[in-house]
Structure 1
């Protein structure tokens, strides 16, 4: 497992740290101590304290620690600067990689007939449960816009929720490895099916924006 983690996490972590360093350099220029302001929900000024309410140095320190350790997708990330906005997914992805060996052991043998359907059912039940949880809490607290904003933001990034989706794709990959549908005579049918799904989604999107 150590070799697996080393081969998967070290390369992306090096690239991630370089990108983060460049973003830190950029923020240091536009967010100087004299421009720093107190926390103000809804403000478009990025050079402000977070919901935690720390000063300039404290906000920088906590943000650097959380971002360097790739923890910004976890709830602690709600209280720091996202110095490199889109790298939150690196945090979620790293957690999925950590889960991979354990999920693989869990799925071994379940791609066989009998267990296959029920494994899919339980994966989708867990997946839908995460969505229902997010929506139910949102609807129960939607009058408090600040609270629900952090709830939705934190829930969208939350790595265990992404791990569920990762597990769904991973199990599907194990099925492909087991049954090798691309090597069968009827493989062209699935090409037509996927192209049709793509076309339907494209038409639905066009109709939706109009």
Structure 2
């Protein structure tokens, strides 16, 4: 009887896990669809060579919320599934970050390709910015842009602004720590994610 009872509990736990993941994935997809009856501004920043995406949201009622998301493929029982994990950001930090982004005028930053001196590579390693508001819907990216890079004298102005955003984001959130915390929460399995020129993979034991 004990064996059957344990098997029953395992089946319930596995079912709850799958339902939880579907819910997380649906939540992420829903938040991407901008609704001008609810949201004032949505910022999404996808880090290069990383499965991390930061999402910051300002609502019309002046409420703020945000998450650090890990979006990664998980091999489980000979199947590959999309795993989405989220870690909530303190409301005060979200408000502070969005306020700084507005000072930098993030929504007015030109895409790299709009500059003749745009730094480009062929490996597809880009940091991506996605901004949606009542007045602006904009996507742009910069090649191999990572937190705390040193700007050179000839660095294009729009890249400097994007760098400033990343540096402030890392200063407030400590992205390496957030990444480690999210990895610790992953269930056992083998994981992989795209890094531009191939897959990076690891096993959580």
Q: TM-score range by the shorter chain?
A: under 0.3
Q: TM-score, normalised by structure 2?
A: 0.23
Structure that is richer in helix per residue? 1
Larger radius of gyration between Structure 1 and Structure 2? 1
Query: Which structure has more strand as a fraction of its residues?
Result: 2
- What TM-score does the superposition give when structure 1 sets the normalisation length? 0.23
